[in-house]
Amino acid sequence: MPPGFPAHRLMICEVVQPGGNWSSYPPHKHDTDDPPREERISTRFTTTASGFPAATAFSVVHAPGDETLRVVHGDVVAIREGFHPFCSAHGYDAYT
């Protein structure tokens, strides 16, 4: 973060997720449970397997205009509202 970054505080955590498993489950909801927080999920994969063209996970954002996002190595997903579970495909260990 550059000096003067406009945040009162940051909470940073790491999740190592074996392939085929969920994280953020049961899903939590920032916009009503503890506003005005935003979560950003940066995804890396520690394994590669066959079946998908690239290491793959899915982030589901249950909010107005529900979205299911395909997430690959290096992607960042910003969650501003709604519930948001995350699932990595079998054989692809995720590090978020």
Over residues 29-72, the pLDDT tens digits come to 766 655 556 777 888 887 665 655 566 787 877 777 788 888 88
Write out the two tokens for 44: 């890396």
pTM: 0.67
Q: Which residues of 34-60 are buried (b: 16+ CB within 10 A; e: fewer)?
A: eeeeeeebebebeeeeeeeeebbbebb
Domain range list for the chain: 16-84+91-95
Consecutive H or E run containing 32:
helix 30-33
